[in-house]
A and B are shown apart, each in its own frame.
Chain A
Amino acid sequence: MIEPGEKQAVISGIGQSKIGRRLGRDGLSLSADAISAALDNAGLSPKDIDGLASWPGYMAEAPGFSPVTIGDVKEAFGFELNWYNAGPEASQLSQLINAAMAVATGQARHVVCFRTMIEATAMVSGERSSVITRGDARVGGLFQWQVPFGSVSASNWIGVIAQRYMYEFGKTRADLAPIALNARANGELNPKAVYRTPLTFDDYMAARLISTPLCLYDCDVPIDGATALIVSHRDVARDLKAKPIRIEAISGPLIGRDSWDQQPDPTRFINEAAAARMWSRTDLKPEDVDIAELYDGFSFLTVLWLEALGFCGRGEGMDFIAGGARIARDGELPLNTNGGQLSAGRTHGLGLVYEAVEQLRGVSGVRQVAGDPAVAVVANGGGNIASAMLLVRD
């Protein structure tokens, strides 16, 4: 069998800008802060970088969702790029998959990957990137099957799925609470988290409903901020400043329907294929995982990821999280240890990778998971877009 190429790739440096609500800064300067920090973390200079990748690439139609181009960053740093790539028709971690393939095939040696959002600032001017419709403009593609009926936000698409799931497995929204409560408990210890004040079960149950059964605390929080990671070939990362973290396995498939409402089983999504593909590329098993950083753009997706990745059986996700002890920082599977996107902010994918790398390096300070964690799983998306990755510290 051909060795999966991503095993030649490591994350050699990580950086993050200030993360906050309405920082009032432009996307390029936040990106530059994150990338400078990642270069410094790895001990690399701009002239070492020969690859650049992002997802989804610049999106003019979605205010604040992805405001920076590859070209903007290249010009700001003077990178000389042997290879670059960004584009929206891919899964959230596609930039890491592409970067890993680029270093494995010799297209590049050190690839900067970045993800920048200024959604919080965009909302000040009345624009909400997550709502799919603009005045009288007509909609095409997948959105035409949702938007005419007022199903304009992912909270609507996922609300329908969560409602069905709870019906099938006899659960209520109280059973979903541990995801948000766990995120907040971890966020309290993260100085960068947007929300750090304690959240109780009663607060959760009293929260404003967004799209049943999802309430305010089941939805992540738009922020301004940028995250950067440097993916390097393992052979050129040995002497760098920080401990390299190896990409053991990574996957971003599109197996099943490219749709929110036409999956053969209405509550099973592409994340099952992403998890299965990821496990097929490694000898490691779910029981080898020390920490889990699983996408929580909506808390319900985190439950689906726990099942898809095999930490529990189908329909058992809400029993798995019940009481919260198992997923707590000192539990058997510490989950979303930075507060997740629910409390730390919607850094959209790379923020969870950043946290996994810090935990595996043992530099997470007061929120460091005990026991010297060496294997982390990171998952992103969960509906018709999903990717999963296993990171290892040797």
Chain B
Amino acid sequence: MSEVTMALPRLDDVNRFFWQSGQDGKLRFQRCESCATWRHPPTVRCPRCGADSLAPTAVEGAGTVISYTINHQAWLPGMVVPYTIILVEFDDAPGVRLTSNFTDPAVEAHIGQKVRVEFQQREDVWLPRFAPIEEHAA
């Protein structure tokens, strides 16, 4: 994928913590301090219990690829194809997912693959991408 043509998120008071979380190498999602529910994308109140106590909470950053697609279509001028888009669920934040990519575009995706977050900074945004974890590691 041609990195330069992919638009970055527009930061605001609700989403800024997420997109800049990688500054210290940690991935964070909102979690309700009242009922312990994880919430993504971020919002301003817990839709489950009604409390206004959603707090950015760090997670381990390890998870599983639950699906993927290989994009073959050059949607924009200069876009290098094919490239892989993955959908990741997290070991310690049930109920949230991220659409993302592998840090290394050469990695071949499969469902069930274990991954860990890595951040790539562009301007004032730290994009969470993922690297495979060796599946038979100790």
Residues of A within 8 A of B (CB): 126, 128, 131, 133-140, 142, 144-153, 155-156, 159-164, 167, 208-214, 259-262, 264, 266
Q: Which of A126, A139, A164 interacts with B67 by CB under 8 Å? A: A164
Q: Are A138 and B71 in contact (CB under 8 A)?
A: no
Closest 4 CB pairs of A and B: A159-B69, A164-B67, A144-B9, A138-B10
Shortest Cβ distance from A265 into chain B, in angstroms?
A: 11
A144 touches B99 (CB 8 A): no
Q: Restricting to B55-75, which residues have a CB under 8 Å from any CB of A? A: 66-73, 75
Which of B6, B10, B12, B67 is the one whose CB lies under 8 Å from A150?
A: B6
Give the contact-size bracket for chain B. 35 or more
Cross-chain contact A133 with B5 (CB below 8 angstroms): yes
- The answer to whether B83 touches A140, judged by C-beta atoms less than 8 angstroms apart, is no
Chain B residues within 8 Å of A153, by CB: 71, 73, 75
Residues of B within 8 A of A (CB): 1, 5-12, 15, 40-41, 66-73, 75-77, 79, 83, 85, 87, 95-101, 111, 125, 127, 129
**B75 in contact with A160 (CB, 8 Å):** no
Contact, CB under 8 Å: A211 / B67: no
Flag if A148 contacts B70 (CB, 8 Å). Answer: no
Contact check, A167 vs B85: say whether CB atoms are below 8 A apart. no
Q: Which of B15, B73, B87 contacts A211 (CB 8 A)?
A: B73
Cβ-defined contact, B97 with A266, below 8 A: yes
Closest chain B residue to A165, Cβ basis: B67
Total residue contacts A-B, CB cutoff 8 A: 122
Contact assessment for A149 and B101 in the assembled complex, using a CB-CB cutoff below 8 Å: yes
Given A145-B41, A151-B85, A262-B41, decide whether A211 and B69 contact each other with a Cβ distance below 8 A: yes
Tell me the bound Cα distance from A213 to B70 in angstroms.
Answer: 8
A140 near B9 with CB under 8 A, answer yes
Task: Kindly list chain A residues whose C-beta atoms are within 8 Å of the C-beta of B67.
Answer: 160-161, 163-164, 167, 266
B32 to chain A, nearest CB (A): 16
CB distance from B11 to the nearest CB of A (A): 8
Q: In the complex, what residues of A have CB within 8 A of residue B96's CB?
A: 262
Contact B69 A148 (CB under 8 A): no
Complex Cα spacing A213 to B127, Å: 26
Is the pair A262, B97 in contact by a Cβ cutoff of 8 Å? Answer: yes
What A residues does B85 contact at CB under 8 A? Answer: 149-151, 156, 159-160, 211
Task: List the B side residues contacting A259 at CB < 8 Å.
Answer: 41
CB-contact partner of B69 in A128, A135, A156, under 8 A:
A156
Q: Is the CB of B9 within 8 A of A139?
A: yes
A259 to B6 CA separation, bound complex (whole angstroms): 20
Can you offer 12 A-B residue contacts whose CB atoms are under 8 A? A138-B9, A139-B10, A148-B125, A149-B99, A150-B1, A150-B101, A161-B67, A162-B69, A208-B72, A211-B72, A211-B73, A212-B69
A139 to B99: give the CA distance in the assembly, Å. 15
Given A144-B10, A153-B75, A266-B97, 15 additional A-B pairs, CB 8 A: A133-B5, A133-B7, A133-B76, A139-B10, A140-B9, A148-B125, A150-B101, A153-B73, A160-B87, A160-B99, A163-B69, A211-B71, A261-B87, A262-B40, A266-B87
Chain A nearest CB from B7 CB (Å) reads: 4
CB distance from B63 to the nearest CB of A (A): 13
In the docked arrangement, what's the CA distance between A163 and B84, Å?
12
B70's nearest neighbour on chain A, judged by CB, is A212
Question: How far does the Cβ of B31 sit from chain A's closest Cβ, in whole Å?
Answer: 15
Closest to A152 in B: B75
Of the candidates B67, B69, B96, B101, the one having the most CB atoms from chain A within 10 angstroms of its own CB is: B69
Interface centre among B40, B73, B111, B125 (most CB of A within 10 A): B73
Distance to closest chain A CB from B52 (angstroms): 20
Q: How far is the CA of A212 from the CA of B87 in the complex (A)?
A: 14
Shortest CB distance B105–A (Å): 10
Q: Is the CB of B101 within 8 A of A167?
A: no
- Residue in A131, A135, A150, A209 whose CB lies within 8 Å of B83: A150
- Which residues of B sit under 8 angstroms from A163, Cβ to Cβ? 67-69, 111
